[in-house]
Structure formats: C-alpha cells, structure tokens
Amino acid sequence: MIDAAVEQLLRQDPKSYVIPAEVVANVTATNTLEHALMVLSKVGYTRIPVLAPDDHLQGLLALSDVTDNLLRVPGAAVENLNQILVSDVMRPVTHWVDDPTKLEKILNLLVDEPFLPLVDDQMIFQGIITRREILKRVNYLAHNLNRQYTVTPKMIDTPAN
C-alpha cells in the first residue's frame, strides 16, 4: 500500500504525468519496417506503440526488432525492410493501465518498464505514462511533502557511542 499522504501528493494532477496520444510517436501494424525505422530514428525512442487505424493498441515495436531483421541477412540493404511489416515483428502489450490514478500499479510496473500505455475500456490508446514523468512527480513530492503535511519520525535514532 502506498502511504495516503504520498499518494495524495503524487496524484494531485494525474494529467501532469500522462503524455497524451496526440504527441506519442507510433506506427501501424501495416507499416513496413523501412517506414518504422524512419520513425524510430527520427524520434530517437527505442520502443513505441503500434496502433490500429481506429487507435486500438495492438502491440509495441522496439528498434531492436527492426535492426535484428536488418542484420539477419549479411549485407542486406534498408530497402529489404520493405518486405516486412510491423505486424510480423511487433511484441504483444503485456502491461498497460486503464486508469491513470492507479498509482500503486503504475509505480510497480514502471520498475521494469520504461513506459506504460494508457487505454480506455475498449483498449483505445489514450497516451503513455513514462518513468520520467512519474519521477517529476516524485521530485515534486520530495520538495513539497512537509509544506502540506507534518512529518514526524516515529522513532528517534540515538547515536551509537
């Protein structure tokens, strides 16, 4: 369980830690890997969501999924990636959230995931929650906890002689 005071401060403004879908770089399952490589190198991220034309979240694409295919054939040119679709190599989405205020789940999952997709109850993509945005909230918490709460230690350590 997250401490109530910590939770209240962290989720004071859940919008502040959700990057909205409109500004999240993505590809569609029917894109070629050549196109996906262009998108990934332009945005500089190593993993981005794969969306259906109706914005359903379908999977995740990592840069390594593309480069593995490029390196599989010695001397292969980037044009060869035209023969392979994102749907051929994308990974399933194993972790996501449907409520940005579920902080306990978000914090636990972000230990191992660099970002979490946020979806609605129909799996329509709403945005992402990244480690960086959550760390900004933790930073806010660290600087504001004692402005809003009185924090008193339960036990006072006595220095060892």
Q: Write out the two tokens for 128.
A: 């992402």
Q: Contact region for ligand AMP (CB under 6 A) — 6-14, 39-47, 70-78, 93-101?
A: 39-47
Residue 59 · residue 51 · CB < 8 Å: no
Alpha helix (H) residue ranges in 52-148? 63-72, 86-89, 103-110, 131-148
Decide if residue 130 touches ligand AMP (CB under 6 A): yes
**Six-digit token string for 16:** 């502040």
> 62-101 mask for ligand AMP (x: CB under 6 A)?
----------------------------------------
Q: How far apart are CA 107 and CA 21, in angstroms?
A: 20
**Chosen residue from 35, 56, 102, 131 binding ligand AMP by CB under 6 A:** 131
Kindly state the smallest distance separating residue 86's Cβ from ligand AMP, in Å.
Answer: 15
Give the residue with the Cβ less far from ligand AMP, 9 or 17.
Answer: 17
Instruction: List strand residue ranges (DSSP E) for 22-94, in order.
Output: 27-28, 47-51, 57-62
Does 47 interact with ligand AMP (rule: CB under 6 A)? yes
Instruction: State the residues that interact with ligand AMP by CB under 6 A.
Output: 19, 23-25, 45-48, 114-115, 128, 130-132
